[in-house]
Structure 1
Amino acid sequence: MQLEDMTLEELKRLRKDVEKAIETYEARQLSEARAKLEAQAKELGYSLETIAGVSKTGSAKRLPKYRHPDNPTLTWTGRGRKPKWFIDALESGYEKKYLEI
């Protein structure tokens, strides 16, 4: 379908989808990089946390699992109470998978 053939509502929906894809690009790239590194670590018989020197004890800081789409300094480990930015992002149409790091 050509852009000229689309209705105003279809164009606005397309723009929203493109903006969301742009905003979540870095998060998707980081998620892919993490998956590749975890696979390589597993091939070597280690966890990524072990190679990175991160402790899995209860007092250790957990690695963030989710990142704010507009402000990458806001993260969440996926444990405990959901932060307001995470809830707001879901309510505004983001899927959980697009917020993953």
Structure 2
Amino acid sequence: MTDILAPEDCTTMIEVRAGVDALDEQIVTLLGRRMRYMDAAARIKTTRGAVRDEARKAQVIDNAAAVAARVGVPPALVRALYEQLVEGSIAYEFDKFDAR
């Protein structure tokens, strides 16, 4: 199956799964791009203490939750996902900063 159907057009689980798999590939690709921004941040920041920024972390999570609410995704789910994503990004950035 090469054509990915819109969710509302799916009539079989094969079609649903194909759509989910295609979206997951796009999501992971975007996460890779996001991590390259963490590479840039680690390169640009001048002190290790600047890597963790709790105010920015809260802003990122709040922004994502607001987008979720706007597009009909449960904000609590997005908050939980972004908590993990941002913490993982911070750990990654620390590793990159320390490796410079």
TM-score (normalised: structure 2) = 0.35
TM-score (normalised: structure 1) = 0.35
More helix by share: 2
